[in-house]
């Protein structure tokens, strides 16, 4: 049919106007500085705005459960509130709490057995956090954050009555703001000191220069953010982190404990007679965060009198480089969960240096009240201490691990018997998911401390495991006989569901609460009795994103050219069939390091898990006609004496090529229209793939680091310093290979990134390099956003940016005019 000239002119005009508008908004070398926050396609925005599924919190006696409402993304106005960035932490000066925090907005109390449900009446716009049960399960306490303060509230479970417990303002800048005593009627709280003066003001005229020095000590430090910079920062640190500890009873009676100080933690003993208190003191550091400042650890009575000085640890500037490097002196100090008042702690025998040869790395000691005798040794470890599960005097499980070998060991010990020798329970590589025996089940005791759950006085334990296998994850419950160390399988998740045990609710372990889901059914909580094969549903949360309910999902397996097995989760639009031809592809990935090719090739995830779509999920682009390969494994392997990063680029490119080839073989992905994307280390991966291959049409890199010489004392899983392995730092830095990037790359970064190593400067300098070399690149900085993005406006704009980029340079690649440099080895 021949159209009229007027219609043709109209179409041409509209088309030219549309392309001019897009060029104005998006295609210019100097995009408008006044571009406001944009929205992605409506279906994507609707999915992001869908109501959040509530969280569930099960009480210590397994009679009541809390159903906690969660809000959607906060506004940019909320995220933009003033914040202090000092000593590696971020503080809201108005509330004396953290500047970034997720809250609950409502509480429902539900009886697990009768299904009785009660709603807790709270103030409008309640912002709830730090929710803790009393040891007997009859109360909950929580903080409620208002515009200018943080309050302490309690709820009596039977009546669902809520009330503010005290007028004292809670200080939540550092330590956990409150803890229950085992008497079930008293809380110890960190409060803002009464009659505190105004915050110190910055002097316009400095009193002198800011000086740092080092007199020959070896003091390496990774690249940290938000550090102290000058004496004024130190005074702000003192002002906002200083707290007054108080006892507050459920009747509202209040009494102070000792004097105001900077508390790093305070932990009551199981019998409620003592407090283990950690206080931070000077001198502070301008190159280290707060958790490496000098620390005093002592035992107090409830009036604040010092009973026993555990340790006074100096500024931790000399911790060696390495993932098993630790502080000298007593560390990991805490109470035995199964004794009235007995301390335990670890002490490094190798001076905390994993590079030193040592038969014994750590020793564990115990000391019971009244703390007047010499500490008693519990066990000597050849690896680094990694925690204890207590049961009773005749049983505890001690864990140790070593990063470089990925070895983890579990020991059976009898704490109250000096003559008994430790027995090895598990000795394995934690990379090997298939051999994971599971974790022992714990339950709170009468004092509120977690102890090993056993129905026969410690003769056997229960284990909950992920159940990784070649067919996918199948969570299980096993019963472990501690005499012969054999296990009996009690239950295992079965298709078409993915069901994960949460906690036992009866004394014999026949009934567990589980979290059950399928590809199309969202996670809900159930009461399962496997002895009687009964299943009772406890919650009925609806599908949050029905728009994607029937999309196609499959965990695919394929092989790298060196024989390593790889996996990824393939999603296809609901109405797609193979006869429709190959689709444009979005791959979203994150590399991980391994010491074993066998472990790297193991199956991950389950084909029956619910398709959870968050704002950061690449699955949003199913709505735009893309095939999605989410989480394709990009293992970087270094077996034996080799380090994974020795061949990082080669392995990375090989993994990416294998994924693209597999999608092409299946006929679902157009190998000429594949985008690669990632966040943080995934952004680093994206930039490297564009520099060292021609596999992708475009890339999206969010909040990444691109020049590893700016993180010279190690990064990610790399322990070697720049000076020990300069060629590794050079070869792995996309910045050094910027001339090789000839595909369009979108860089996005939060301007207030607080993650170690991913300074916003990284994206800015990388952009400058790419622009100077003539690459197709766009840099988007998000005001007030950190390493992850929170504000609705920021999130929606990120989706808009990504969608525009993908539409122009991937889906419609043939029409995009991209300047191509042919020499990838320039």
Active site residue ranges: 680, 753, 787
With CA atoms as reference, report the closest residue to 558 among 629, 638, 650: 629
Residue listed under structure tokens 């003066």: 197
Please enumerate in sequence order all residues whose Cβ is within 8 A of that of 425, keeping only pairs 6 or more positions apart, or say none: 397, 410, 411, 412, 485
* CA-CA-CA-CA dihedral for 571, 575, 579, 583, to nearest 10: -50
Spatial separation of the C-alpha atoms in residues 457 and 40, rounded to whole Å: 58
Strands 64-69, 635-637: pairing kind:
unpaired
Reading the block at residue 772, the tokens are 């100077």
Task: State CA 609 to chain mean position distance.
Answer: 20
Residue listed under structure tokens 């070895």: 407
Spatial separation of the C-alpha atoms in residues 400 and 428, rounded to whole Å: 11
Residue listed under structure tokens 């994850």: 473
Q: Which long-range contacts (CB under 8 A, 24 or more apart) does 561-566 make?
A: 561/654, 561/657, 561/658, 562/597, 562/651, 562/654, 563/597, 564/597, 564/600, 564/601, 564/635, 564/637, 564/655, 565/600, 565/601, 565/602, 566/601, 566/632, 566/633, 566/635, 566/655, 566/658, 566/659
Please enumerate in sequence order all residues whose Cβ is within 8 A of that of 470, keeping only pairs 6 or more positions apart, or say none: 434, 602, 603
With CA atoms as reference, report the closest residue to 747 among 791, 690, 793: 690
Contact yes or no for 424/410 (Cβ under 8 A): yes
b/e map of 291-314 (b: 16 or more CB within 10 Å)? ebbbbbbbbbebeeeebbebbebe
State the chain's maximal CA–CA distance in angstroms. 102
Please enumerate in sequence order all residues whose Cβ is within 8 A of that of 260, keeping only pairs 6 or more positions apart, or say none: 193, 242, 243, 244
Residue listed under structure tokens 């800048």: 173
Reading the block at residue 104, the tokens are 């609950």
Contact yes or no for 734/763 (Cβ under 8 A): no
Alpha carbon separation from 152 to 66, 144, 182, 262, 480 (Å, rounded): 18, 6, 18, 20, 42
Contact yes or no for 133/60 (Cβ under 8 A): yes
Contact yes or no for 140/133 (Cβ under 8 A): yes
Q: How many CB atoms lie within 10 A of CB 717?
A: 17
- Directed axis angle between helix 681-692 and helix 648-666, to 10°? 80
Spatial separation of the C-alpha atoms in residues 348 and 292, rounded to whole Å: 16
Strands 583-588, 627-630: pairing kind:
parallel
Say how many residues make up the chain. 826
In three-state secondary structure terms, 150 is strand
Spatial separation of the C-alpha atoms in residues 686 and 391, rounded to whole Å: 47
The DSSP call for residue 691 is H
């Amino acid at each position: 049919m021949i159209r009229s000239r007027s219609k043709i002119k109209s179409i041409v005009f509209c088309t030219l106007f549309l392309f001019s508008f897009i060029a104005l908004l998006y295609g210019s070398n100097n995009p408008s500085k006044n571009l406001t926050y944009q929205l992605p396609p409506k279906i994507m925005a609707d999915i992001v705005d869908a109501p959040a599924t509530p969280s569930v919190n099960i009480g210590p006696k397994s009679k009541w459960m809390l159903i906690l409402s969660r809000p959607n993304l906060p506004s940019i106005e909320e995220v933009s509130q003033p914040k202090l960035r000092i000593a590696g932490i971020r503080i809201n000066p108005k509330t004396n709490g953290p500047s970034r925090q997720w809250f609950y907005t409502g509480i429902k109390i539900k009886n697990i057995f009768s299904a009785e449900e009660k709603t807790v009446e709270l103030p409008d716009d309640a912002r709830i956090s730090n929710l803790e049960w009393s040891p007997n399960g009859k109360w909950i306490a929580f903080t409620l954050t208002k515009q200018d303060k943080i309050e302490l509230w309690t709820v009596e479970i039977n009546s669902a009555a809520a009330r503010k417990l005290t007028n004292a303002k809670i200080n939540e800048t550092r330590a956990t703001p409150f803890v229950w005593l085992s008497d079930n009627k008293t809380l110890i709280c960190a409060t803002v000191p009464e009659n505190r003066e105004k915050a110190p003001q910055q002097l316009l005229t400095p009193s002198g220069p800011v000086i740092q020095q080092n007199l020959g000590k070896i003091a390496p430090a990774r690249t940290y953010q938000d550090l102290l910079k000058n004496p004024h920062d130190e005074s702000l640190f003192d002002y906002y982190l200083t707290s007054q500890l108080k006892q507050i009873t459920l009747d509202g009676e209040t009494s102070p404990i000792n004097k105001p100080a900077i508390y790093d933690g305070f932990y009551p003993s199981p019998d409620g007679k003592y407090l283990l208190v950690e206080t931070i003191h000077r001198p502070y550091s301008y190159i280290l965060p707060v958790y490496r400042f000098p620390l005093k650890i002592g035992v107090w009575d409830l009036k604040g009198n010092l009973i026993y000085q555990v340790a006074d640890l100096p500024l931790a500037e000399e911790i060696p480089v390495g993932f098993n490097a630790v502080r000298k002196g007593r560390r990991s100090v805490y109470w035995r969960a199964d004794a009235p008042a007995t301390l335990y702690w670890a002490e490094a025998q190798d001076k905390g240096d994993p590079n030193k040869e040592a038969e014994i790395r750590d020793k564990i000691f115990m000391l019971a009240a009244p703390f007047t005798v010499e500490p008693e040794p519990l066990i000597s470890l050849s690896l680094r201490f990694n925690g204890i599960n207590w049961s009773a005097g005749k049983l505890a499980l001690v864990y140790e691990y070593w990063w470089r070998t990925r070895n983890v060991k579990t020991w059976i010990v009898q704490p109250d018997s000096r003559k008994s020798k430790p027995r090895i329970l598990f000795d394995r590589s934690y990379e090997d998911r298939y051999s994971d025996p599971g974790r022992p089940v714990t339950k709170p005791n009468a004092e509120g401390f977690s102890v090993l759950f056993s129905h026969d006085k410690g003769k056997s334990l229960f284990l909950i495991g992920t159940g990784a296998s070649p067919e996918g994850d199948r969570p299980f419950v096993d019963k472990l006989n501690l005499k012969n160390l054999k296990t009996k399988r009690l239950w295992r998740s079965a298709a078409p569901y993915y069901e994960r045990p949460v906690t036992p609710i009866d004394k014999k372990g026949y009934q567990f609460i589980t979290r059950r889901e399928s590809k199309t059914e969202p996670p809900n909580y159930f009461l399962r009795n496997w002895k009687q094969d009964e299943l009772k549903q406890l919650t009925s949360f609806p599908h949050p994103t029905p728009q994607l309910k029937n999309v196609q999902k499959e965990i695919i397996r394929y092989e790298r050219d060196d024989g390593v097995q790889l996996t990824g989760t393939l999603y296809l639009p609901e109405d797609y069939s193979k006869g429709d031809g190959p689709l444009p592809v979005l791959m979203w990935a994150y590399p991980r390091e391994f010491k074993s090719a066998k472990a790297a090739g193991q199956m991950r995830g389950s084909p029956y898990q619910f398709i959870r779509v968050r704002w950061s999920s690449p699955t949003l682009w199913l709505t735009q006609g893309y095939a999605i390969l989410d989480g394709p494994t990009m293992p970087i392997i270094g077996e034996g004496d080799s380090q994974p990063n020795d061949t990082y680029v080669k392995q990375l490119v090989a993994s990416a090529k294998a994924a693209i080839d597999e999608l092409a073989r299946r006929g679902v992905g157009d190998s000429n229209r594949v985008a690669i994307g990632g966040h943080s280390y995934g952004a680093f991966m994206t930039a490297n793939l564009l520099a060292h291959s021609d596999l992708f049409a475009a890339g999206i890199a969010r909040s990444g680091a691109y020049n590893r010489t700016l993180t010279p004392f190690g990064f990610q899983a790399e322990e070697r310093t720049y000076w020990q392995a300069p060629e590794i730092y050079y070869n792995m830095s996309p910045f050094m290979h910027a001339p090789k990037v000839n595909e369009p790359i979108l860089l996005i970064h939060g301007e207030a990134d607080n993650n170690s190593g991913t300074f916003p400067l990284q994206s800015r300098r990388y952009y400058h390099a790419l622009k100077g070399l003539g690459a197709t690149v766009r840099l988007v900085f998000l005001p007030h956003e950190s390493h992850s993005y929170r504000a609705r406006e920021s999130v929606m704009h990120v989706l808009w940016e990504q969608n525009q980029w993908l539409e122009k340079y991937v889906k419609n690649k043939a029409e995009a005019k991209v300047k191509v440099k042919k020499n990838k080895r320039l």
